[in-house]
Amino acid sequence: MEQSVKQMHAFFNPSSVAVVGATKKINKAGNVIFKNFAENKRRGVFEGEIYPVNPHEDSILGFESYPSITKIPEELELVVIVVPAKHVANVMRDAASKKVKTAVVISSGFSEIGNHELENQIKAIAKKAGIRVLGPNCLGVYDSRTGVDMLFLPETRVLTTGDEVIATPRPMPGNIAIVTQSGAFGVAALDYLTGQQIGVSKFVSFGNKCDVDEAEMLQYLLHDEETRVIMLYVEDIKSGREFLKVAKKVTKKKPIVALKSGRTKAGARAAASHTGAMAGSDHIYDAVFAQTGIFRAKDMEEFFDVGKALTMQPPATGNNVGIITDAGGPGIMAVDECELKGLKVKRFSEETIRKFEKLKKEGRLPKFATNLNPVDLTGSVTSEMFELAAEILFEDPEIHGIILLGLHHTPALQEDFVDRVSKVAGKHDKPIVACDIGETEMALHTRYRFDKLGIPAYFSPEDAARAMNALVKYGLYLKKKRCLEEYMERFLKQKSGKQRSIQARS
């Protein structure tokens, strides 16, 4: 591993960390951040040493407080800076004399408001001392396994009614890394993924990117064993050539899903006032993402849907999609979206059609079911029918991916159809995604069951089709780069381990 990558490991798993600006004042950023570290240390999650730095306090949360980091007797790997912008340069000078490896500048008031001189000052200090910097104007880092938590937003809030609710959830450990230029969007991503019970490996907020940028973070995550999918929110990319070079390496081993905002002139202007971003032509970003195999999501919904699919399912080896449904209308909607995305929903082979006809004659499928593609099992569908139809399509070598639309409203359908389909899918290495339309408890429960068994489930047929499109596009990219087999071998090995874990919990 490159030395620069090793150094950045201190952002996520430091042996020691000082929070400059730690305070006893409730709900201040310095209080929340230090409290995160202190609670994680007491629980045994964070194993490093922690030091609050505040010249006006003797101790904070039971830990001795220091007037400056130069007064801390032990070595320091990481400094989290939460003080007004005008004091940050002095803190960085202290960090340099202390030979700190990494620094995260949470403080705002730099290039995002036109204060380029001050930002360049801390950048120069860091470069001379060899300190790697995240920020300024950022949320920093969250690592689900090491207990590093710089999110200065409290996890719970007390409402005016007196009820305590989850406000900024910390997601469970998982395999998705969130890399974002916007802290607020990153927090929204954590909120969404937690609600979907999808785990996160690492969260990184860049802010103004005075030093560490996307290219270097992608390089680091390439070597991170806990990360399987990288989700990237950007407003601009500064080191274009390096980004191209690194992204090409990463996408051969791990998919990257990007959400690039600032598409319009007005959006670019807003981005410039947000993080000082200078957005280039949107067509250039389209070309860069296409060239490097990065999947560009058109909006926030697709961003999350695609990340979920790539985490749970293997890529498709071709673009022929088979659709199984118990309702004609949603099936047509899925077909339309697939075709609009460039996927093929062609008539099944004669052999596959014969298999369906045989089951109809035996009375195991409805006589009035259609089986040309989509397979419409009608409102008479049972759990066994879904299982049989799925088995046929998984065994069809001409079908590369399956979309299953299982609406819970049908009277004869039992809850176990999810388990039956999952069991069939577990025997094969082609992707499947599911959909159950609705927001009732039963619809939510059905989607939840699919997700827990490793089949990504969605609210609408179009969402399911877009998720399948990403699995197809990534598979074709890997095929083009001649690394599909290597990726599949690695993915299926991880999938096997996850299935054993699910079975053990069951």
What CATH number is given to the structural domain containing 75?
3.40.50.720
Within a domain: residue 31?
yes
Same domain, 320 and 288: no
What CATH number is given to the structural domain containing 263?
3.40.50.261
CA–CA distance from 182 to each of 104, 115, 220, 345, 464 (Å)? 15, 19, 20, 38, 27
Same domain, 380 and 437: yes
What is the per-residue pLDDT across 179-202, written as a single tens digit (0 to 9) for each?
Answer: 999 988 998 899 889 888 899 999
Within a domain: residue 154?
no
Same domain, 231 and 125: no
Nearest CA to 234 among 177, 185, 293?
185
pLDDT exceeds 50 at position 277: no
Cross-strand partners of 143: 202
- Give the count of domains, the chain: 3
- Residue ending a domain, among 290, 312, 334, is 312
Domain assignment of residue 196, given as a range: 171-312
- Residue ending a domain, among 312, 345, 367, is 312
Q: pTM for the complete prediction?
A: 0.91
Within a domain: residue 151?
no
Q: Which run of H or of E encompasses 241? A: helix 240-251
Same domain, 387 and 416: yes
487/348 Cα distance (integer angstroms): 28
What is the per-residue pLDDT across 309-354, written as a single tens digit (0 to 9) for each?
Answer: 999 999 999 999 999 999 999 999 999 999 999 999 999 999 999 9
Cross-strand partners of 312: none
Same domain, 308 and 326: no
Same domain, 410 and 296: no
Same domain, 306 and 372: no
What is the per-residue pLDDT across 395-435, written as a single tens digit (0 to 9) for each?
Answer: 999 999 999 998 877 887 888 999 999 999 999 999 999 99
456/311 Cα distance (integer angstroms): 9
Within a domain: residue 158?
no
User: What's the confidence (pLDDT) of residue 283?
Assistant: 87
Same domain, 363 and 472: yes
Which are the contacts of 432, defined by CB distance < 8 A and separation ≥ 6?
A: 313, 390, 394, 401, 402, 403, 404, 421, 425, 455
DSSP 113: G
